[in-house]
């Protein structure tokens, strides 16, 4: 989900490429790079919360056998690519902007996994590789492709690159009901039904759905965040994060219908 800070930045109307390049240049090299790939410019404790609940949901699906070919679409700084490469997978990570790709490569070299992963600049709607992949991972990417036709193209390209018997692991903002309160000029929360219709058009079937963040406190608070005095905004965000984190970690997987973000496991039909 985008923050109130990102709403202010995105309101300037910058093209997606410029917006993501700006994020990467400003935040990608700091710490774990979460401010570049989670919620733009938000405090570290909040982005840490987002990363933890995502990692908890993805944990099972990041366990792959050595040699498995993985495509990480919208890899950002390579936080999942590097983890997969460390387990022995052969990983190709793609991202829209050069600054993200450069940082993912730098971090892979620092962690000595660069021999098992490569990073390329590529639009998700224009994926084109000669070989298929056993696993395709896509985390909070489609929610930033506002054009529905282009979002469908990205799903179609992922489906076309999936090896027989392979799976796509997709984590996106996908509320069970239509809810535009947090939408911005660079983010849209499509409801779950819209995703299932797009999956079907791409020749994909959903074999599992897992919840990520069923406690709705943050979706109610974030639209107000940028309008509150800074100390009060931070205090409110800290309180919401402290309550949401244990609840989401304990119950997220059991309450997919209440979750704002969902993890979909997809296979070719």
State the residue for tokens 């690159």: 161
The CATH number of domain 4-268, selected from 3.40.50.2000, 3.40.50.720, 3.40.50.150, 3.40.50.261: 3.40.50.150
| Sequence spans of domains, the chain | 4-268
CA distance 216 to 91: 34
Residue 227 burial (CB count, 10 A): 8
- Listed in sequence order, the residues at least 6 apart from 186 whose beta carbon sits closer than 8 Å to its beta carbon are 2, 6, 10, 16, 19, 144, 146
The CA-CA-CA angle for residues 240, 16, 158, to 5°, reads 90
Pairing of strands 133-139, 117-121: unpaired
CA distance 212 to 154: 23
Tens digit of pLDDT at every position of the chain (269 positions)? 444 333 333 333 457 889 999 999 999 999 999 999 999 879 999 999 999 999 999 999 999 999 999 999 999 999 999 999 999 999 999 999 999 999 999 999 999 999 999 999 999 999 999 999 999 999 999 999 999 999 999 999 999 999 999 999 999 999 999 988 889 889 999 999 999 999 999 999 999 999 999 999 999 999 999 899 999 999 999 999 999 999 999 999 999 999 999 999 999 99
pTM for this predicted structure: 0.93
């Amino acid at each position: 989900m985008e923050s109130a800070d990102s709403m202010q930045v995105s309101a300037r109307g910058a093209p997606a490429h410029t917006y993501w390049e700006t994020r990467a240049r400003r935040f990608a090299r700091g710490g774990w790079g979460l401010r570049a790939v989670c919620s733009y410019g938000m405090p570290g404790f909040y982005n840490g919360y987002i990363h933890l609940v995502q990692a908890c949901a993805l944990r099972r699906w990041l366990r792959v056998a050595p040699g498995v070919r993985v495509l990480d679409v919208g890899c950002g700084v390579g936080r999942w690519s590097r983890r997969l490469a460390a387990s022995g997978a052969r990983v190709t990570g793609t991202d829209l902007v050069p600054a993200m790709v450069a940082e993912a490569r730098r971090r892979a070299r620092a962690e000595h996994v660069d021999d098992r992963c490569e990073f390329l600049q590529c639009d998700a709607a224009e994926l084109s590789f000669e070989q298929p992949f056993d696993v395709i991972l896509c985390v909070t990417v489609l929610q930033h492709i506002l054009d529905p036709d282009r979002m469908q193209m990205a799903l179609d390209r992922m489906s076309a690159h999936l090896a027989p018997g392979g799976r796509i692991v997709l984590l996106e903002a996908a509320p069970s009901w239509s809810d535009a309160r947090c939408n911005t000029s660079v983010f849209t929360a499509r409801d779950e039904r819209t995703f299932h219709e797009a999956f079907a058009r791409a020749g994909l079937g959903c074999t599992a759905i897992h919840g990520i963040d069923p406690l709705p406190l943050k979706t109610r608070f974030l639209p107000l965040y940028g309008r509150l005095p800074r100390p009060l905004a931070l205090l409110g965000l800290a309180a919401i994060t402290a309550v949401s984190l244990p609840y989401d970690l304990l119950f997220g997987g059991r309450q997919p219908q209440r979750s704002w973000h969902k993890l979909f496991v997809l296979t070719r039909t």
